[in-house]
Amino acid sequence: MSHINSKELEKILQEAKKTMLQTEMLSYSVNNLHIRRVLSDTIIPNFINYITYMEVANLNKKEITMYLRNCVNAFNEIEEYNQETMLMSSKFKVLRDETVKAMNLT
Protein backbone atom coordinates (compact mmCIF):
# COMPACT_ATOMS: atom_id res chain seq x y z
CA MET A 1 0.00 0.00 0.00
CA SER A 2 1.31 3.44 -0.92
CA HIS A 3 1.14 6.59 1.14
CA ILE A 4 0.03 10.05 0.05
CA ASN A 5 -0.39 13.12 2.23
CA SER A 6 -3.92 14.31 2.84
CA LYS A 7 -3.44 17.65 1.11
CA GLU A 8 -2.31 16.00 -2.11
CA LEU A 9 -5.07 13.42 -1.83
CA GLU A 10 -7.73 16.11 -1.42
CA LYS A 11 -6.41 18.06 -4.41
CA ILE A 12 -6.43 14.95 -6.60
CA LEU A 13 -9.91 13.98 -5.41
CA GLN A 14 -11.32 17.43 -6.14
CA GLU A 15 -9.90 17.33 -9.65
CA ALA A 16 -11.14 13.76 -10.14
CA LYS A 17 -14.69 14.66 -9.09
CA LYS A 18 -14.70 17.68 -11.38
CA THR A 19 -13.42 15.52 -14.23
CA MET A 20 -16.07 12.90 -13.46
CA LEU A 21 -18.86 15.45 -13.80
CA GLN A 22 -17.44 16.63 -17.11
CA THR A 23 -17.20 13.05 -18.33
CA GLU A 24 -20.79 12.33 -17.35
CA MET A 25 -21.96 15.50 -19.13
CA LEU A 26 -20.05 14.46 -22.23
CA SER A 27 -21.66 11.01 -22.15
CA TYR A 28 -25.12 12.64 -22.12
CA SER A 29 -24.41 15.24 -24.77
CA VAL A 30 -22.43 13.31 -27.36
CA ASN A 31 -24.38 11.97 -30.32
CA ASN A 32 -21.91 9.33 -31.43
CA LEU A 33 -23.13 5.97 -30.10
CA HIS A 34 -19.65 4.43 -29.99
CA ILE A 35 -18.28 7.28 -27.85
CA ARG A 36 -21.32 7.16 -25.59
CA ARG A 37 -20.92 3.41 -25.11
CA VAL A 38 -17.19 3.64 -24.31
CA LEU A 39 -17.87 6.42 -21.82
CA SER A 40 -20.76 4.72 -20.06
CA ASP A 41 -19.54 1.11 -20.19
CA THR A 42 -15.82 1.52 -19.57
CA ILE A 43 -14.57 4.94 -18.59
CA ILE A 44 -17.19 6.04 -16.06
CA PRO A 45 -17.35 2.74 -14.12
CA ASN A 46 -13.55 2.50 -13.92
CA PHE A 47 -13.29 6.12 -12.87
CA ILE A 48 -15.92 5.64 -10.16
CA ASN A 49 -13.83 2.77 -8.81
CA TYR A 50 -10.70 4.94 -8.91
CA ILE A 51 -12.44 7.74 -7.00
CA THR A 52 -13.85 5.28 -4.47
CA TYR A 53 -10.42 3.80 -3.77
CA MET A 54 -8.99 7.29 -3.34
CA GLU A 55 -11.86 8.47 -1.08
CA VAL A 56 -11.50 5.59 1.34
CA ALA A 57 -7.72 6.03 1.20
CA ASN A 58 -7.30 2.48 0.01
CA LEU A 59 -4.19 3.45 -1.89
CA ASN A 60 -3.61 0.05 -3.42
CA LYS A 61 -1.04 0.61 -6.16
CA LYS A 62 -2.25 -2.22 -8.36
CA GLU A 63 -5.94 -1.33 -8.23
CA ILE A 64 -5.54 2.40 -8.74
CA THR A 65 -3.16 2.03 -11.66
CA MET A 66 -5.45 -0.56 -13.25
CA TYR A 67 -8.53 1.69 -13.07
CA LEU A 68 -6.68 4.72 -14.43
CA ARG A 69 -5.03 2.64 -17.15
CA ASN A 70 -8.45 1.31 -18.20
CA CYS A 71 -9.78 4.87 -18.46
CA VAL A 72 -6.82 6.17 -20.44
CA ASN A 73 -6.83 3.15 -22.77
CA ALA A 74 -10.54 3.61 -23.46
CA PHE A 75 -10.00 7.30 -24.16
CA ASN A 76 -7.21 6.42 -26.57
CA GLU A 77 -9.86 4.54 -28.54
CA ILE A 78 -12.17 7.56 -28.87
CA GLU A 79 -10.01 10.65 -28.38
CA GLU A 80 -9.73 11.51 -32.06
CA TYR A 81 -13.48 11.63 -32.68
CA ASN A 82 -13.88 15.25 -31.65
CA GLN A 83 -12.36 18.08 -29.64
CA GLU A 84 -14.30 17.25 -26.46
CA THR A 85 -13.01 13.68 -26.31
CA MET A 86 -9.47 14.90 -26.98
CA LEU A 87 -9.74 17.40 -24.13
CA MET A 88 -11.15 14.81 -21.72
CA SER A 89 -8.47 12.32 -22.71
CA SER A 90 -5.83 14.90 -21.83
CA LYS A 91 -7.47 15.56 -18.46
CA PHE A 92 -7.44 11.86 -17.63
CA LYS A 93 -3.78 11.56 -18.61
CA VAL A 94 -2.84 14.54 -16.42
CA LEU A 95 -4.84 13.13 -13.52
CA ARG A 96 -3.14 9.76 -13.98
CA ASP A 97 0.28 11.39 -13.98
CA GLU A 98 -0.51 13.47 -10.88
CA THR A 99 -1.80 10.41 -9.03
CA VAL A 100 1.23 8.34 -9.96
CA LYS A 101 3.59 11.14 -8.94
CA ALA A 102 1.79 11.77 -5.63
CA MET A 103 1.78 8.10 -4.75
CA ASN A 104 5.26 7.44 -6.12
CA LEU A 105 3.84 4.66 -8.27
CA THR A 106 5.79 3.30 -11.20
82: left (phi over 0), alpha (psi -120 to 50) or beta: beta
CA distance 2 to 88: 27
CA distance 94 to 89: 9
Domains and CATH numbers, the chain: 6-103 (1.20.1440)
Render pLDDT for 28-66 as a digit per residue (tens, 0 to 9).
999 999 999 999 999 999 999 999 988 886 666 788 889
| pLDDT at res. 1 | 44
What is the SS3 assignment for 55-66? HCCCCCHHHHHH
Mean pLDDT to the nearest integer, 96-103: 86
What pTM value is reported for the model?
0.86
